[in-house]
Structure 1
Amino acid sequence: MKLENNDFLFVLVQFILFFVYVIDVKIVSIGWLPFINRIGLFTFVLGVLIVFISLLQLNKNLSPFPTPKLNSKLVKTGLYKFIRHPIYAGILCVVFGYGLYIGSFFKLIIATTIYMLFYFKTKYEEEKLQEFFEEYKVYKATTGRFFPRIF
């Protein structure tokens, strides 16, 4: 499929937000209870593992753009059996977890903005995936976007 302007726009905004996230801005520092820091650290480490495993499972089908690559296959195994977008889920765990760990209100705001971007990026991406893969609609109905479906 041909990449569209929206593909580039989503990726550009994503990288801008990642850049802003790594800037050390100390607007408001939150003094958490120690267990919140540990939850943040656990969430961060879990996110790193999810991203790493998801990248390995997606393998040659990986693209930074929402539009699928021409010769790609729909991956529905491993983490993708439970979550449609585990790389995004892992990144969200990393940015929220690190923000909680260091008690940065600024990073939590940027993490929330990244979540909103990923929400709209996945809506767009799923339109493209449904055009590209006949079975995507059924897959979408049985898996969660960022987290496994409970019911």
Structure 2
Amino acid sequence: MPDNVKSYLFISIQFACIGYLLFSGPLFANNSWLFLLEILGIGLAFWAVVSMSQSKLNVLPDVKNGATLIQSGPYKKVRHPMYSALIVIFLTLIVDEFSVVRLLVYLALTVTLVAKQFYEEGLLKKEFGQYKYYQENTWRIIPFVF
């Protein structure tokens, strides 16, 4: 399968899962603690986007021409903080408004993000010689876990 097709497949599944989760329940958790955790996830996503805007931000896992490897902001500790943020945000919404279907869609989103991350890291290794060192000194998605 050509790389471009893989990239669009990952994004299509990711956005389909996100769309379903956003439209099948409330946008914000009703529980105060879950709401706080959701806001922290949104803050992490915003911080990651602002940090990545120093390079060539791309929704696809492909590396754009002229992109630079960002290692500041949340990228100093986690290689994929946008994925981390999505996992946290939607976990709070699943716990707050649980259904088996929503849980299965959340699991599909998580598996897609992890697979996309492995694919993306292969592309980043080819593009940036220092990426291997960066991998050795950062967590993938969840600090102290993965």
TM-score (norm 2): 0.85
Equivalent residue number for residue 37 of structure 2: 43
CA contact (8 A) 1:39 1:97 kept: no
Equivalent residue number for residue 147 of structure 1: 142
The 5 A counterparts of 1:17-56 are: 17-24=17-24, 37-56=31-50
Show structure 2 runs of 5+ residues with no match: none
Distance across 2 between alignment mates of 1:12 and 1:24: 18
TM-score (norm 1): 0.83
Off by >4 Å, runs of 4+ in structure 1 = none
The 5 A counterparts of 1:1-150 are: 4-24=4-24, 37-59=31-53, 60-149=55-144
Alpha carbons of structure 1 residues 39 and 109: separation in structure 2 relative to 1, 3 Å = farther
CA RMSD of aligned residues (A): 2.1
- Across the two proteins, how many residue pairs are aligned to each other? 139
CA contact (8 A) 2:13 2:109 kept: no
Equivalent residue number for residue 28 of structure 1: none
Q: Report the 3-state secondary structure (helix = DSSP H, G, I; strand = E; otherwise coil) of the residue aligned with 2:105.
A: helix
Further displaced range: 3-12 or 61-70: 3-12
> Between Structure 1 and Structure 2, whose CA radius of gyration is higher?
1
Identity %: 24
Alpha carbons of structure 1 residues 123 and 82: separation in structure 2 relative to 1, 3 Å = same
Further displaced range: 94-103 or 53-62: 94-103
Alpha carbons of structure 1 residues 112 and 38: separation in structure 2 relative to 1, 3 Å = farther
1:36-81 CA-partner distances (Å, limit 9, x unpaired): x344222211110000110000004210111111110000011000
Further displaced range: 134-143 or 123-132: 134-143
Measure how far apart 1:12 and its partner are.
1.1
AA in 2 matched with 1:121? K
Distance across 2 between alignment mates of 1:147 and 1:86: 8
